């Protein structure tokens, strides 16, 4: 797509958003996940009807068949007018859906993609377990074949939005005798069947965005398998490529916005700040962060180009994930430095100050979710730079 067409697309999106966003009701409180699901689904349905859902998804499955670059332009326009973020179906839209497109059978694509785009069905990602996070290949949740079904037993943890999800992209062990990563299978599991139980976990920001999921003899048909049996590690890497490479695009745009707001906060004498724009260290930190975020934006665009060319993202996705998540924490740290002790009682703050302190706490999770910074560095050094593998534990 040429520059002129991209600009025409931007202007059309801007015009539609200018009409649509003011019609939205007030967003529900963050802690009310059920209300958030209804709110997010209503917005998603509006996007779908206007042709702005699944911009880079194939038209045959309800998407627009556009490029990921157009999708990025749309996100920029959404950010400019404060349109809602994807919300509770973050996993479904940003990494499970794209995995279904890349790895699913025709039946999977016909069944699952359009309901995600229409805002009807939400997904979660069941990868991590109590003893398998960074070392994901050691996961133990078992699936045993029984005729045309898999019977699943085990536990997942930190499963984002599991309390409001309809389906889970679940990693299970199907061959306990194979070397770790070769005995894993990826299954599509409905969340509302017998043998699946969700227990919410409360986070530092005060609500239960993620939870534990227990499986006790849950049964799914063999046709719910994504990829071949024991080929789930490869499928999981496809999902993680999307999660690390492009899923945080809106998050990055919000971070740029937040950095601008921090500058305004520091410049406003009416705000309860401890440090202000008069402080040279604040001005320098804001300048450095602005440059850093420009560079992170360039990494995002490189991933978007790669996706438009190859349809999947490789280990290079980790470079963006690492840079974005660490920059988020630096923006959060600066917010806390500018606000001083007021940041510790964020409930008493209003407007921008309150949002920035909440984001500062939320940012703590970003260098863990989707794989920790240490793991991203290992991937970059081994898979991108070809450096020697880290020594494996013996015994
Ligand atoms: C907000 C949030 C949302 C999440 N959502 C989901 C989700 O939806 N689905 C899901 O499956 N999971 C989810 N997770 C889980 C996340 O993927 C794991 O927390 C992450 O992979 C780390 O695993 P762990 O917590 O078991 O930590 P561990 O793996 O126990 O790591 C502990 C520490 O050891 C370090 N470490 C471990 N191994 C190495 C190594 N080889 N080299 C150097 N350092 C190492 C780590 O970097 C870390 O600092 C989420 C996590 C968060 C915080």
Candidates 325, 181, 184; CA nearest to 245 is: 325
Length of the chain: 395
For residue 127 and ligand 1, the question of a CB distance below 6 A is answered with: yes
Ligand 1 geometric centre to CA of 88 (Å):
20
CA distances from 389 to 54, 242, 382, 383 (A): 38, 24, 6, 9
- For 343, residues 6+ apart whose C-beta sits below 8 A from its C-beta are 335, 336, 349, 353, 357, 360
Q: Is the pLDDT of residue 79 over 80?
A: yes
Q: How far is the CA of 247 from the centre of ligand 1 (A)?
A: 17
Residue 273, ligand 1, Cβ within 6 A: no
Mind listing the pLDDT tens digit for each residue in 189-215?
999 999 999 999 988 777 889 999 999
Verify whether ligand 1 is closer than 6 Å to residue 325 (CB atom).
no
Residues 276-305, mean pLDDT to the nearest whole number? 95
Atom of ligand 1 nearest to the CA of 156: 11
User: Is the Cβ atom of 372 under 6 angstroms away from ligand 1?
Assistant: yes
* Region class of 297: left (phi > 0), else alpha (psi between -120 and 50), else beta: alpha
Alpha carbon distance 299, 210 (integer Å): 28
Ligand 1 binding pocket mutation candidate from 99, 128, 138 (most atoms within 8 A of CB): 128
Q: What's the 312 CA to ligand 1 centre distance in angstroms?
A: 23
User: What digits encode the pLDDT tens for the residues 89-98?
Assistant: 999 999 999 9
- Of 30, 133, 141, 189, the one to substitute when testing ligand 1's pocket (max ligand atoms within 8 A of C-beta) is 133
Show the 3-state SS of the chain: CCHHHHHHHHHHHHHHHHHHHHHCCCCCCCCCHHHHHHHHHHHHHHHHHHCCCCCCCCHHHCCCCCCHHHHHHHHHHHHHCCCCCCHHHHHHHHHHHHHHHHHCCHHHHHHHHHHHHCCCCCEEEECCECCECCCHHHCCCEEEEECCEEEEEEEEEEEECHHHCCEEEEEEECCCCCCHHHHEEEEEEECCCCCEEEEEECCCCCCCCEEEEEEEEEEEEHHHEECCCCCHHHHHHHHHHHHHHCCCHHHHHHHHHHHHHHHHHHHCCCCCCCCCCCCHHHHHHHHHHHHHHHHHHHHHHHHHHHHHHHCCCCCCHHHHHHHHHHHHHHHHHHHHHHHHHHHHHHHHCCHHHHHHHHHHHHHCCCCCCCCCHHHHHHHHHHHHCCCCCCCCCCC
Is residue 395's pLDDT more than 60?
no
d(CA 99, CA 224): 14
Question: Which segment of 227-241, 257-271, 283-297 scores lowest on mean pLDDT?
Answer: 257-271
Tokens of 113: 């993609």
Going from the Cα of 236 to the center of ligand 1, the distance in angstroms, rounded, reads 15
Give the pLDDT score at 290.
Answer: 96
The answer, yes or no, to whether residue 80 has pLDDT greater than 60, is: yes
368 ligand 1 Cβ < 6 A: yes
Q: Residue 176 pLDDT > 80, yes or no?
A: yes
230 within ligand 1 shell (Cβ under 6 A): no
Summarize the confidence of residues 170-184 as an average pLDDT.
97
- Per-residue pLDDT band at 149 (split at 50, 70, 90): very high
Q: Catalytic site residues?
A: 243
At residue 30, the pLDDT reads 85
CA 127 to ligand 1: nearest atom: 11
Q: Is residue 146 in contact with ligand 1, taking CB distance under 6 Å? A: no
Q: Compare 50 and 350 and report the one with higher pLDDT.
A: 50
pLDDT tens-place string over residues 345-359: 766 667 777 777 778
Cβ burial 151-163 (10 Å sphere, 16+ → b, else e): bbbbbbbbbbbbb
pLDDT at 353: 75
CA distance 264 to 130: 42
CA of 287 to the centre of ligand 1 (A): 31
Q: How far apart are CA 15 and CA 7, in angstroms?
A: 12
Residue 132 CA: nearest ligand 1 atom is: 26
| Residue 204 pLDDT | 76
Nearest residue by C-alpha to atom 34 in ligand 1: 134
Decide whether any atom of ligand 1 lies within 6 Å of the 371 Cβ.
yes
Do residues 338 and 282 lie in contact, with contact meaning Cβ atoms separated by under 8 Å?
yes
C-alpha 365 – ligand 1 centre gap (Å): 10
Residues of the chain with pLDDT > 70: what percent?
A: 98
Q: With a cut of 60, say whether residue 33 has pLDDT above it.
A: yes
The predicted structure's pLDDT at residue 98: 95
Task: Tell me the average pLDDT of the chain.
Answer: 93
pLDDT confidence of residue 348: 65
Please identify, by atom number, the ligand 1 atom nearest to the C-alpha of residue 124.
Answer: 8
Residue pair 104/226 in contact (Cβ under 8 Å)? The answer is: yes
User: Is any ligand 1 atom within 6 A of the Cβ of residue 210?
Assistant: yes
Cα angle 217-98-71, degrees, rounded to a multiple of 5? 145
Specify the ligand 1 atom closest to the Cα of 91. 8
**pLDDT at residue 279 tops 60:** yes
pLDDT mean over 390-395: 68
CA of 74 to the centre of ligand 1 (A): 31
Distance 107 CA to ligand 1 centre (A): 33
Choose between 354 and 133: higher pLDDT: 133
User: Can you give the pLDDT at residue 393?
Assistant: 65
The more confident residue out of 327 and 3 is: 327
- Percent of the chain exceeding pLDDT 90 equals 81
Residue 135, pLDDT score: 95
Is the shortest distance between the CB of 362 and ligand 1 below 6 Å? no
């Amino acid at each position: 797509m040429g520059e002129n067409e991209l600009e025409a697309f931007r202007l059309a999106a801007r015009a539609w958003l200018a009409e649509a966003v003011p019609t939205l009701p007030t967003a529900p409180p963050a802690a009310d996940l059920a209300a958030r699901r209804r709110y997010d689904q209503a917005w998603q349905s509006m996007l779908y009807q206007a042709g702005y859902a699944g911009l880079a998804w194939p038209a045959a499955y309800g998407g627009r068949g556009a490029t990921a670059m157009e999708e990025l332009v749309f996100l920029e326009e959404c950010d400019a007018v404060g349109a809602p973020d994807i919300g509770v179906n973050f996993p479904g839209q940003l990494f499970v859906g794209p995995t279904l497109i890349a790895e699913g059978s025709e039946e999977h694509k016909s069944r699952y993609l359009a309901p995600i785009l229409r805002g009807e069905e939400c997904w979660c990602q069941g990868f991590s377990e109590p003893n398998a996070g960074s070392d994901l290949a050691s996961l133990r949740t078992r699936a045993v074949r029984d005729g045309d079904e898999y019977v699943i037993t085990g536990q997942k943890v930190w499963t984002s939005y599991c309390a409001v999800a309809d389906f889970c992209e679940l990693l299970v062990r199907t061959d306990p005798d194979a070397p770790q990563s070769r005995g894993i299978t990826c299954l599509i599991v409905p969340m509302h069947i017998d043998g699946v139980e969700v227990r919410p976990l409360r986070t530092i920001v005060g609500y239960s965005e993620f939870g534990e999921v227990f499986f006790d003899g849950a049964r799914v048909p063999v046709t719910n398998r994504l990829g071949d049996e024991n080929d789930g590690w490869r499928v999981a890497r496809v999902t993680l490529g999307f999660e690390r490479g492009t899923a945080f695009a809106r998050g990055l745009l919000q971070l740029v916005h937040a950095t601008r707001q921090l500058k305004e906060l520091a410049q406003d004498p009416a705000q309860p700040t401890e440090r202000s724009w008069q402080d040279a260290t604040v001005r320098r930190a804001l300048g450095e962060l602005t440059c850093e975020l420009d560079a992170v934006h360039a990494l995002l665009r490189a991933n978007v180009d790669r996706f438009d060319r190859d349809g999947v993202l490789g280990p290079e996705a980790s470079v963006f994930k690492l840079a974005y998540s660490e920059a988020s924490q630096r923006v959060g740290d600066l917010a806390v430095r500018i606000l001083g002790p007021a940041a510790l009682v964020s409930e008493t703050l209003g407007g921008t100050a309150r949002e920035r302190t909440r984001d500062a706490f939320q940012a703590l999770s970003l260098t863990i979710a989707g794989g920790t910074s240490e793991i991203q560095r290992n991937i970059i050094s081994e898979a991108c730079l070809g450096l020697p593998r880290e020594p494996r534990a013996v015994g």
